[in-house]
């Protein structure tokens, strides 16, 4: 039997505080010692990065046998002591009805300072939990006058459950490029419009009297009978403005409709005019919107992290279009596209069939595939698109213009189509990016699909992962619920860990992923060991960078390490060979790596 090592109080690194502690959980109970539950961080990561927000007060629950659980003076003395250790001024404020202590943090502290204080409490074995005293707000519906008609956002059957996401994110800091017909002035959108561009090079298509320029205003896309390959006469659609309103119409402004990501910005990028638009213009628009360079066009000062393309045509995705999309995604821009409105396999339409996009099918108000919507294996997700044939109010209400040919007065109207479904997903992508700025396009797609709910109705032919669920998805990426989704890679080959010996490694080869690893890469570890305090555990990225998962601890005498660590590996390429490195740094105990896994 080993001689017991001296017990010592260990200050848990602030990286032990998960982002959920200050972002969305109601309690954080200590589960054993710190060594097996400390999320990883790269050496250069700052302590503050583990904390979601500053706080003014903490709620501290003590274990029933602790003096601080019953004595206000003891709780007060403990607060002062922990304040001294964290170099902050803490004050016991009062006892809650549950018996927990409310501790004031003094001057409003930054995230890193709060993390230090929380770490002090977490390190105390007499503390059962420590959580922030969060500020709650009324969950009232927006006061937009037409909000009650936006069934697509909130209805139980087939709504996308958007209101529940607004408490976490509203799209702030994210620009969405709407590659479409341009924008016609509308007071319910104007506050969220930023600079865009008109990429229509053919003056006959442009209608505005010139070619490409910096003015993406929509002059109207009406056509006379037979003017567009024999098509019947059609009034102007103001299509881009309707799409933009679904994404980011101003909200709580006592008028009109509510946007899904109502604090996001819209960059109108005009590619569709009379009779449609050419691939060449769309390719340049994708490039420019995502921050790429287009010859003869000024640099984009409003680079979009999300692109919406509610457009398409027959034929599979071309190499030219695919190249532009790949480059945009490589620059960190999520590309959302409509699946198409031909009630056919989306694999035969572009850009719905392109890789590296989120292809969106449309559902009607009962949650079944809308009769017109394309379907198939290339579809990633479904969202409300409406079906006006069953009643006008069963369409999607958004911003529009009343002009039949040229712009007139602003208005609102119900439309239907996968063109209406796609901006629901673009808006959700903007909410996700706002909630977690490090998310990659692959993570955004994975999060949307993983947190979707089963279709309330039916979809013959395939409508992707199901009906997008905004609340669950945003909670997932913000750390307050849901699932970050992704693919799991596992090693079940056992590796012996020698006593006080050299480090051993267990490899996992990751393939088939695009881009970088996630900012919350999950590392599941199953190690048996008779004194886990001896173990030092690192995750080794394909480029050799080491991420410390667990340090050795002389006071951690429990057996085994069976836990999941979270690693910010967003700077690492996902594909390649990852390794779990384990070393026993003290004598008298041995163990085995039984298995481990990576969840992207």
Q: Which residues belong to the active site?
A: 180, 239, 419
Burial of 274 (0-12, 13-18, 19+ CB in 10 A): buried
Distance from C-alpha of 528 to C-alpha of 497, rounded to nearest angstrom = 9
In Å, what is the CA distance from 463 to each residue of 191, 306, 457, 459, 473?
34, 22, 11, 6, 18
Dihedral angle, C-alpha 149, 154, 157, 161, nearest 10 °: 150
Distance from C-alpha of 118 to C-alpha of 16, rounded to nearest angstrom = 9
Neighbours of 309 (CB within 10 A): 30
Report the b/e string of 160-174 with b at 16+ CB within 10 A.
bbbbbbbbbbbbeeb
Element of type H or E holding 246:
helix 239-248
Going by C-alpha positions, the residue among 243, 14, 245, 41 that lies closest to residue 113 is: 14
Neighbours of 148 (CB within 10 A): 10
Going by C-alpha positions, the residue among 391, 404, 247, 229 that lies closest to residue 310 is: 247
Going by C-alpha positions, the residue among 594, 593, 600, 575 that lies closest to residue 537 is: 593
Going by C-alpha positions, the residue among 417, 422, 176, 181 that lies closest to residue 281 is: 181
Helices (H) and strands (E) in the chain, counts: 10, 24
DSSP 321: H
In Å, what is the CA distance from 557 to each residue of 121, 129, 161, 502, 561?
21, 22, 47, 21, 11
In Å, what is the CA distance from 154 to each residue of 186, 250, 361, 404?
24, 17, 19, 31
Distance from C-alpha of 122 to C-alpha of 108, rounded to nearest angstrom = 20
| Residue 569, both tokens | 């590996």
β partners of residue 27? none
Burial of 411 (0-12, 13-18, 19+ CB in 10 A): middle
Whether the Cβ atoms of residue 95 and residue 71 lie closer than 8 Å to each other: no
Distance from C-alpha of 218 to C-alpha of 240, rounded to nearest angstrom = 8
Whether the Cβ atoms of residue 32 and residue 558 lie closer than 8 Å to each other: yes
The owner of tokens 């309690």 is: 27
Whether the Cβ atoms of residue 470 and residue 155 lie closer than 8 Å to each other: no
β partners of residue 193? 266
The residues near 485 (Cβ < 8 Å, ≥ 6 apart) are 446, 447, 449, 450, 451, 476
DSSP 571: T
Three-state SS at 440? coil
């Amino acid at each position: 039997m080993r001689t017991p090592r001296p017990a010592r109080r260990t200050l848990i690194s602030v990286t032990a505080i998960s982002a959920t502690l200050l972002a969305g959980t109601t309690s954080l109970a200590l589960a054993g010692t710190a060594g097996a539950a400390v999320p990883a961080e790269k050496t250069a990561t700052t302590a503050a990065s583990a904390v979601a927000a500053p706080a003014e007060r903490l709620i501290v629950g003590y274990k029933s046998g602790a003096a601080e659980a019953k004595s206000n003076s003891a709780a007060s003395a403990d607060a002062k002591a922990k304040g001294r250790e964290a170099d902050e001024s803490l004050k016991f404020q009062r006892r809650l009805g549950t018996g927990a202590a409310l501790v004031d943090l003094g001057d409003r502290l930054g995230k890193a300072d709060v993390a230090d204080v929380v770490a002090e409490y977490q390190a105390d074995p007499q503390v059962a939990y420590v959580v922030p005293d969060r500020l709650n707000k009324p969950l009232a519906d927006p006061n937009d006058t037409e909000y009650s008609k936006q069934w697509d956002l909130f209805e139980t059957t087939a709504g996308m459950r958007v209101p529940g996401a607004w408490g976490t994110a509203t799209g702030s800091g994210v620009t969405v490029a709407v590659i479409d017909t341009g924008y016609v002035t509308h007071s319910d959108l104007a506050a969220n419009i930023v600079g865009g561009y008109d990429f229509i090079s053919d003056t006959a298509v442009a209608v505005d009297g010139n070619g490409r320029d910096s003015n993406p205003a929509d002059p109207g896309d009406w056509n006379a009978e037979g003017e567009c390959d024999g098509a019947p006469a059609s009034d102007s659609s103001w299509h881009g403005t309707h799409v933009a309103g679904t994404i980011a119409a101003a909200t709580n402004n006592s008028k009109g409709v509510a946007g899904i990501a109502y604090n996001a910005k819209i960059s109108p990028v005009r590619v569709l005019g009379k009779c449609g638009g050419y691939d060449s213009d769309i390719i340049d628009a994708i490039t420019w919107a995502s921050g790429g360079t287009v010859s003869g066009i000024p640099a984009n000062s409003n680079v979009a992290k999300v692109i919406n393309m509610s457009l398409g045509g027959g034929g599979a995705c071309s190499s030219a279009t695919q190249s532009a999309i790949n480059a945009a995604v490589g620059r960190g821009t999520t590309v959302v596209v409509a699946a198409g409105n031909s009630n056919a396999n989306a694999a035969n339409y572009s850009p719905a069939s392109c890789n590296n996009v989120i292809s969106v099918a449309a559902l009607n108000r009962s949650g079944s595939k809308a009769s017109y919507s394309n379907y198939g294996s290339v579809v990633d997700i479904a969202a409300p698109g409406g079906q006006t044939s069953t009643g006008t109010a069963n369409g999607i209400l958004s911003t529009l213009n009343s002009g039949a040919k040229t712009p007139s007065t602003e208005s609102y109207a119900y439309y239907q189509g996968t063109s209406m479904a796609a901006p629901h997903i673009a808006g959700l992508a903007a909410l996700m990016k706002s909630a977690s700025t490090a998310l990659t396009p692959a993570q955004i797609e994975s999060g949307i699909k993983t947190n979707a709910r089963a279709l309330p109705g039916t979809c013959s032919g395939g409508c992707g992962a199901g009906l997008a669920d905004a609340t669950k998805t945003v909670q997932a990426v913000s750390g307050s619920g849901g699932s970050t989704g992704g693919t799991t890679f596992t090693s079940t080959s056992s590796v012996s860990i020698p006593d006080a010996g050299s480090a051993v490694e267990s490899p996992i080869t990751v393939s088939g992923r695009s881009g970088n690893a996630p900012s919350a890469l999950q590392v599941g570890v199953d190690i048996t060991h008779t004194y886990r305090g001896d173990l030092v555990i690192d995750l080794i990225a394909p480029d050799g960078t080491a991420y410390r998962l667990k340090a050795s601890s002389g006071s951690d005498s429990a057996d085994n390490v069976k836990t999941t660590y979270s690693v910010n590996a967003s700077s690492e390429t996902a594909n390649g060979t990852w390794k779990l490195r384990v070393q026993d740094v003290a004598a008298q105990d041995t163990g085995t790596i039984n298995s481990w896994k990576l969840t992207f």
